[in-house]
């Protein structure tokens, strides 16, 4: 039930949904005052949420900064990669990578450089309609094609959210690496919730943020003024993550 409710909530908190809802209210409202207010508010929201500079400032405050390589230990027993970046195209028998694939790519680099001994990929199916589409299986398939030995690939394929990532991964780590050192690899915007869940589960990890939305502050004209659709969808990610963190904080005490 929590999984289904989270999907519904993710839809409702999308800024574009708010804009569309206000436009529909303006179209169908018979009250002229309400119609004008709805149109004005929809325009204000659209301008605000499509501004790159505003989005960057909020995301700067939220993302967890990457840990410099110089601040890491020389090696970790396991690099824990959280899913949310792979889809399987059944028609063409092909993997499709989303933005979050930076998590996996940086884990591969860390493995190749000897900073992590094994890669543990945690991720089941994020789809209500296709529960058998386990992301971890696809990740393992990809890693094997790169020549990574099977014994260095560990998968956890049942989790559907960050809380389950932590709980199900803990069972594997306690059994196989009771005294191990672990690197937690996920997107910078997701690291705050991920660290909370793993700490709550009793697994000490070192954060390794990837896939940053933000970088050095920019003051170019187009960045400051011109609306950008990427900012609009970036806000969806930020609001979704912030809401998820608050819900997890209240319900699970992360």
What pLDDT sits at residue 194?
A: 98
Give helix 15-28 / helix 229-252 axis angle, nearest 10°: 110
Residues 6+ apart with CB under 8 A from 95: 86, 87, 88, 89, 138, 141, 142
Identify each DSSP E strand in the chain by its residue range. Answer: 76-82, 86-89, 94-97, 116-122, 153-156, 182-187, 206-210
Q: Can you say how many angstroms the Cα of residue 35 is from the centroid of all Cα atoms in its chain?
A: 37
Q: What is the pLDDT of residues 103-116, one digit of tens each?
A: 999 999 999 999 99
pLDDT (tens digit per residue) in 134-174: 999 999 999 999 999 999 999 999 999 999 999 999 999 99
Residue 190's nearest CA partner among 115, 82, 94 is 82
Cβ–Cβ under 8 Å, residues 163 and 252: yes
- Confidence check: pLDDT of 12 > 90: no
What is the mean predicted confidence (pLDDT) over 208-223? 94
Note if the pTM is more than 0.85: yes
Of the pLDDT bands very low, low, confident and very high (cuts 50, 70, 90), residue 250 is very high
Query: What is the overall mean pLDDT for the chain?
Result: 94
State mean pLDDT over 73-94: 93
Token pair, residue 172, equals: 């594997």
Domain boundaries defined on the chain: 2-63+226-252, 69-210
> Which of 48-52, 58-62, 95-99, 106-110 is the least confident region?
95-99
Mean pLDDT in residue range 131-136: 86
Distance CA 98, CA 187 (A): 12
pLDDT band for position 13 (cuts 50, 70, 90): confident
Q: What is the mean pLDDT of residues 212-218?
A: 92
Residues whose CB is less than 8 angstroms from the CB of residue 27 and which lie 6 or more positions away in sequence, other chains included: none
The percentage of the chain sitting over the pLDDT mark of 70, rounded to a whole number, equals: 96
CATH of 69-210, one of 1.10.1040.10, 3.40.50.620, 2.30.30.100, 1.10.10.60: 3.40.50.620
């Amino acid at each position: 039930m929590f999984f289904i409710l989270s999907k519904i909530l993710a839809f409702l908190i999308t800024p574009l949904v708010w804009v569309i809802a206000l436009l529909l209210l303006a179209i169908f409202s018979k009250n002229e005052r309400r119609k004008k207010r709805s149109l004005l508010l929809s325009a204000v929201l659209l301008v605000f949420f499509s501004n790159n500079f505003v989005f960057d400032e909020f995301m700067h405050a939220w993302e967890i900064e990457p840990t410099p390589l110089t601040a890491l230990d020389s090696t970790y027993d396991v690099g824990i990669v959280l899913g949310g970046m792979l889809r399987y195209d059944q028609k063409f028998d092909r993997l499709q990578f989303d933005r979050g694939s930076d998590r996996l790519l940086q884990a591969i680099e860390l493995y190749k450089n000897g900073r992590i001994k094994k890669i543990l990929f945690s991720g089941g199916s994020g789809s209500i309609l296709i529960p058998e589409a386990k992301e971890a299986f696809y990740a393992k398939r990809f890693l094997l094609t790169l020549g990574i030995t099977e014994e260095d690939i560990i998968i956890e394929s049942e989790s559907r959210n960050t809380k389950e990532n932590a709980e199900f991964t803990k069972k594997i780590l306690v059994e196989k690496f009771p005294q191990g050192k672990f690197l937690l690899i996920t997107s910078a915007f997701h690291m705050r919730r991920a660290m909370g869940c793993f700490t709550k589960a009793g697994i000490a990890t070192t954060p390794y943020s990837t896939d940053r939305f933000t970088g050095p502050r920019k003051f170019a004209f187009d960045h400051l003024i011109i609306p950008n659709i990427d900012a609009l969808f970036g806000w969806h990610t930020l609001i979704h993550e912030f809401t998820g963190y608050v819900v997890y904080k209240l319900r699970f005490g992360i």
